[in-house]
């Protein structure tokens, strides 16, 4: 009996030793190290533009007809821009734009101020300037079809291109 207890002790002691050593070496080996990772990006200046339609309603030649539209410009923060409006599709100029019905023309003008005194064109001095803030900036366009135009009855239209330069 003593022999078998001695054998058991002899066999179990190395096993427990290995287990204890393994447990000790696991906690002794656990360590950490760190590194930093650089992260970069280049933000490119960008702008987008959208516009609401301008409707003059029913034009009566004895009175001027006025209307407004909103052009929304969204540019990256601190991006400077200019907003110009072209002459339209019907052969007018930026000072005398024209809506068309067949061959008949109805003159109108677009302005950057509510008093309708500052013509809005697409060249230096006639465009509107701004600085982006990352959100949409609504800019009002003021339109007027002058009184005294005795044109053919019907539906007139034109299309204006708004150009943002940044």
Q: Is the separation of the CB atoms in 136 and 52 below 8 Å?
A: no
Residue appearing with tokens 């052009």: 71
Full-model pTM: 0.78
| pLDDT confidence of residue 29 | 85
| pLDDT confidence of residue 18 | 47
85 versus 11: the higher-pLDDT residue is: 85
In whole angstroms, how far apart are CA 136 and each of 41, 47, 127, 160? 23, 10, 18, 20
| pLDDT confidence of residue 28 | 73
* Per-residue pLDDT tens digits for 108-133: 999 999 999 999 999 999 999 999 99
* Per-residue pLDDT tens digits for 15-49: 555 445 455 555 578 899 999 999 999 999 999 99
The region of weakest confidence among 28-37, 58-67, 85-94 is 28-37
In whole angstroms, how far apart are CA 155 and each of 45, 62, 141, 159? 41, 18, 21, 14
Is 5 a residue whose pLDDT tops 60? no
Percent of the residues in the chain that have a pLDDT greater than 70, as a whole number: 84
Bridge partners, 68 (sequence order): 142
| pLDDT confidence of residue 27 | 57
Say whether 75 sits in a helix, a strand or coil: strand
Backbone φ and ψ for 27, nearest 5 degrees, come out as: -75, -30
Query: What's the burial of 94, exposed, middle or buried (CB within 10 Å: 0-12/13-18/19+)?
Result: buried
Q: What is the CA radius of gyration of the chain?
A: 39
């Amino acid at each position: 009996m003593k022999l078998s207890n001695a054998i058991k002790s002899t066999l179990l002691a190395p096993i427990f030793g290995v287990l204890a050593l393994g447990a000790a070496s696991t906690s002794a080996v656990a360590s950490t190290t760190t590194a930093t990772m650089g992260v970069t990006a280049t933000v490119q200046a960008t702008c987008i533009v959208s516009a609401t339609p301008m409707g003059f309603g029913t034009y009566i030649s004895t009175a001027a007809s006025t209307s407004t539209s909103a052009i929304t410009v969204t540019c990256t923060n601190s991006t400077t821009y200019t907003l110009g409006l072209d002459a339209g599709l019907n052969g007018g100029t930026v000072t005398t734009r024209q809506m068309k019905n067949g061959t008949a023309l109805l003159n109108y003008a677009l302005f950057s101020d509510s008093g309708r005194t500052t013509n809005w064109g697409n060249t230096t001095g006639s465009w509107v300037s701004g600085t982006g803030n990352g959100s949409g900036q609504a800019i009002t366009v003021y339109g007027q079809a002058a009184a005294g135009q005795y044109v053919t009855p019907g539906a007139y239209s034109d299309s204006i291109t708004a150009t943002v330069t940044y």
